[in-house]
């Protein structure tokens, strides 16, 4: 919808429940909270740009406010749109590095062993901390030696044997850091009798670019992805994605924040567990071997926004012997690249503390989450492994 005609924020009844649910408001008083920054602020900003507050950058774009809102106000989108309209152009090299995942990923994977080695050296960490503002105590995701795409074209089994095919939007994390998750997805899809294709041209969904204020770059990526997706959907039924954030971005951020029209294919973008669930409902089967583990399920913020945790939970319960603990839905604080920024990292850690305590006290040996940055944060802060449900299901597959 044309944002000029949108009166969505008018629906706000000022009940303030969004601010109650905002992870940032609880720990960072400088952030006025979603109600003030979103619907209230919008009225002021329409009057005069002087009412734009720089503090809007403290929003993590977690969308918990939108889930909490009883009036269906797109609060998080409004904050993002206000930043798009009013924030000065982001000149920070640190933010450019953190958010341009495709560029960084393709560079780093070319020399992954060196990059991974270097990244954990004390002088590197010192430099990143002092000159770029990435805290030295943070651990960085390791880069893979070979991208998932390269592996897929060289090593993937022949996918043409399957009658049904689906297109996998692997996402940056799978491509550059965690190709094994992509392989797991392939394994499960094949086991369900579905062949896999990749998009002809896949770029980062754009969410880190939106978060750091690189709206034009995000729009460029989205435009490329839209063309690739529309092409792919001529031959395959659906686009499936392992990451909750990429899924949410393609479905909701594209139309709401980037004004990319996805109305003809939004419903054909699926999170992998939801797609598996669909296939099982159709009567297809997956056989799992027992797994005697205590596993804690963490609801990532964007999973909360999608509202699809039930699919993952039901699937995990198909594994015999698994003891599944459902953690209360709390933000881990990392929010993509947010927690990697030095000025935000104390906030990120404070937000995550209650969740880390719950995980550590739960007696679990493994955490599950569909979000790749929750994985980084939880692994660093609890010392426990955190995996996508796709990986756990693939491991248990007979």
Tell me the β-bridge partners of 325. Answer: 296
Quote the CA–CA distance of 18 and 35 in Å, as a whole number. Answer: 6
Q: Rounded to the nearest whole angstrom, what is the least distance from the CB of residue 168 to other proteins in the complex?
A: 40
Q: Does 65 bind other proteins (CB under 8 A)?
A: no
Q: Rounded to the nearest whole angstrom, what is the least distance from the CB of residue 68 to other proteins in the complex?
A: 15
Strands of the 194-198 sheet, one edge to the other: 194-198, 164-168, 239-241, 269-271
Q: Does 232 bind other proteins (CB under 8 A)?
A: no
Q: Could you tell me the two tokens for 387?
A: 């995996």
Which of 9, 152, 265, 338 is close enough to bind other proteins by CB under 8 A? 9
Q: Count Cα neighbours of 151 within 13 Å in the Cβ-side half-sphere.
A: 19
Helices 389-396 and 272-281 cross at an angle (nearest 10°) of 50
**Is the Cβ of residue 40 or residue 184 nearer to other proteins in the bound state?**
40
Tell me the β-bridge partners of 180. Answer: none
Tell me the β-bridge partners of 188. Answer: none
**Is the Cβ of residue 47 or residue 287 nearer to other proteins in the bound state?**
47
**Is the Cβ of residue 44 or residue 159 nearer to other proteins in the bound state?**
44
Phi first, then psi, for residue 397 (nearest 5°) are: -65, 135
Contact 308, 240 (CB under 8 A): no
Binding to other proteins, residues 67-126 (CB under 8 A)? 71
How many residues touch other proteins (CB under 8 A)?
28
Q: Rounded to the nearest whole angstrom, what is the least distance from the CB of residue 9 to other proteins in the complex?
A: 7
- The one segment of 9-17, 105-113, 248-256, 331-339 that binds other proteins by CB under 8 A: 9-17
**Is the Cβ of residue 39 or residue 182 nearer to other proteins in the bound state?**
39
Length of the chain: 398
β 164-168/194-198 pair status? parallel
Quote the CA–CA distance of 134 and 130 in Å, as a whole number. Answer: 8
Which of 27, 55, 233, 366 is close enough to bind other proteins by CB under 8 A? 55
**Is the Cβ of residue 55 or residue 132 nearer to other proteins in the bound state?**
55
Which of 14, 155, 160, 281 is close enough to bind other proteins by CB under 8 A? 14
Binding to other proteins, residues 121-180 (CB under 8 A)? none
**Is the Cβ of residue 43 or residue 85 nearer to other proteins in the bound state?**
43
Q: Could you tell me the two tokens for 162?
A: 């399957």
Quote the CA–CA distance of 22 and 182 in Å, as a whole number. Answer: 32
Which of 21, 28, 53, 135 is close enough to bind other proteins by CB under 8 A? 53
**Is the Cβ of residue 1 or residue 227 nearer to other proteins in the bound state?**
1
**Is the Cβ of residue 21 or residue 308 nearer to other proteins in the bound state?**
21
Contact 166, 236 (CB under 8 A): yes
- The one segment of 11-19, 163-171, 232-240, 362-370 that binds other proteins by CB under 8 A: 11-19
Four-residue CA torsion sign, 24, 27, 30, 36: positive
Binding to other proteins, residues 27-46 (CB under 8 A)? 32, 35-36, 40-44, 46
Q: Rounded to the nearest whole angstrom, what is the least distance from the CB of residue 14 to other proteins in the complex?
A: 4
Q: Could you tell me the two tokens for 333?
A: 């604080």
Quote the CA–CA distance of 194 and 48 in Å, as a whole number. Answer: 54
Positions that interact with other proteins (CB under 8 A) = 4-5, 7, 9-16, 32, 35-36, 40-44, 46-48, 50-51, 53-55, 71
């Amino acid at each position: 919808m044309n944002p000029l005609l949108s009166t969505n924020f008018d629906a706000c009844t000022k009940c303030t429940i969004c601010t109650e649910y905002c992870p940032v408001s609880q720990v960072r008083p400088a952030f006025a909270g979603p109600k003030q920054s979103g619907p209230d602020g919008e009225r002021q900003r329409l009057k005069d740009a002087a009412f734009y507050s720089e503090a809007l950058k403290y929003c993590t774009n977690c969308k918990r406010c939108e889930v909490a809102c009883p009036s269906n106000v797109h609060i998080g989108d409004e904050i993002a749109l206000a930043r798009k309209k009013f924030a000065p152009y982001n000149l920070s090299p640190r933010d450019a590095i953190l958010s341009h995942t495709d560029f960084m990923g393709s560079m780093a994977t070319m020399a992954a062993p060196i990059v991974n080695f270097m990244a954990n050296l004390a002088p590197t960490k010192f430099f990143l901390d002092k000159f770029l503002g990435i805290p030295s105590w943070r651990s960085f995701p390791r880069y893979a030696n070979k991208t998932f795409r390269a592996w897929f074209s060289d090593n993937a089994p022949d996918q043409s044997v399957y009658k049904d095919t689906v297109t996998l939007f692997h996402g940056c994390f799978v491509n550059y850091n965690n190709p094994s998750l992509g392989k797991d997805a392939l394994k499960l899809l094949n086991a369900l009798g579905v062949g896999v294709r990749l998009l002809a041209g896949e770029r980062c969904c754009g969410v880190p670019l939106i978060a750091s204020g690189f709206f034009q770059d995000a729009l460029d990526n989205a435009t490329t992805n839209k063309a690739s997706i529309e092409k792919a959907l001529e031959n395959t039924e659906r686009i499936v994605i392992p990451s909750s954030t990429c899924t949410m971005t393609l479905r909701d951020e594209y139309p709401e924040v980037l004004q990319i029209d996805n109305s003809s294919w939004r419903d054909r973008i699926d999170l992998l567990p939801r797609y598996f669930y669909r296939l099982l409902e159709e009567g297809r089967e997956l056989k799992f071997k027992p797994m005697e583990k205590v596993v804690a399920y963490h609801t990532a913020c964007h999973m909360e926004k999608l509202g699809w945790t039930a699919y993952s939970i039901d699937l995990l319960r198909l594994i015999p012997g698994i003891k599944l603990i459902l953690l209360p839905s709390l933000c881990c604080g990392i929010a993509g690249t947010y927690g990697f920024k030095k000025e935000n990292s104390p906030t990120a850690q404070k937000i995550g503390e209650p969740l880390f305590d719950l995980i550590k006290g739960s007696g679990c040996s493994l955490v599950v989450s569909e979000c790749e940055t929750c994985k980084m944060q939880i692994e660093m802060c609890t010392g426990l492994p955190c995996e996508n449900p796709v990986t756990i299901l693939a491991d248990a597959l007979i």
